[in-house]
Amino acid sequence: MCGRYTLGRPPKDWCDALEIEGEVPAVAPRFNIAPTQECPIVVRAADGGGRRAGLGRWGWPNPAGPSGAVLINARSETAAVKRSFAAAFREHRCLVPADGFFEWPRRERRSGPRPGPVWFSSAGEGFFVFAGLLRPPENPGEPPGFVILTTTANELLAPLHDRMPVILDPNWIDVWLHPGPLPPEVAAAWVHPWPAEQMTARPVGPRVNRVSEDDPACLDPADPPPDGPRQMELF
């Protein structure tokens, strides 16, 4: 699952890297993006000639859930056929730029404090491009909703969670954005988890637990526990 992520880079950085055409979104760096918030997405231009950046709202209504519930992730293995996502998978695929995402370790015991969050980022200077699906807005002037696709976790994330975002290889971006069925070779490859050796993991403090907090301090390293760096031993 992916329930929080970051995009702390200036818009020009990721727009240049993704060869965005047209206007660059005027958005501030984000360090704690949460569901239902508006954040940058990338789509195929209407004329099919390039990539365009805009804003989307993370999540769309979950018809099977309680009032106000939203879907924020879709399993890559079933998104093409599941009723909630099939149309978007076929015709409305998008990119979700990010420079990291958070995950929370599983509880080892029912009692006691929950282990702190971990921020996963690129091992180099680059950023991630998540595979996303769009849902057109219900009312004029509203942003489209989007969900992030997930796949099985790699060995770096597996101690914390069994799912992680689908991170697109740069060679697959245009294929992913083009509407219609995916070529077999891409469909077979894109659901594999991003290589663990191309990622880093950093335990961070509890600030990110609060959706209202959204500043660089969300990425400050966690204080070591009194009995030593137990959480760090996961990595």
Q: What is the CATH number of the domain that holds 95?
A: 3.90.1680.10
Range of the domain at 135: 5-234
For the chain, how big is the Rg over CA atoms in Å? 18
The confidence score (pLDDT) of residue 150 equals 96
The confidence score (pLDDT) of residue 40 equals 97
* 163-177 confidence digits (pLDDT tens): 999 999 988 899 899
pLDDT exceeds 70 at position 113: no
Enumerate the β-bridge partners of residue 151.
Answer: 164
- The tokens describing 55, both together, are 């804003």
Is the pLDDT higher at 218 or at 48? 218
Measured between alpha carbons, how far is 141 from 81 in angstroms, rounded to an integer? 30
Is the pLDDT higher at 183 or at 93? 93
C-alpha to C-alpha distances, 95 to 59, 77, 165, nearest whole angstrom: 14, 18, 12
Query: In this predicted structure, which of 12-16, 41-45, 66-70, 208-212 has the lowest mean pLDDT?
Result: 66-70
C-alpha to C-alpha distances, 68 to 4, 6, 63, 65, 71, nearest whole angstrom: 18, 24, 9, 8, 10
Overall pTM > 0.85: yes
H or E stretch at 80: none
- The tokens describing 123, both together, are 């091992």
The confidence score (pLDDT) of residue 222 equals 92
Question: What's the number of domains the chain is made of?
Answer: 1
C-alpha to C-alpha distances, 212 to 32, 50, 139, 169, 208, nearest whole angstrom: 9, 35, 27, 32, 9
DSSP 72: -
Above pLDDT 70, what percent of the chain? 89
| Nearby residues of 17 by Cβ (< 8 Å), 6 or more positions away | 126, 127
pLDDT exceeds 50 at position 233: no
Contact between 179 and 80 under an 8 Å Cβ cutoff? The reply is no
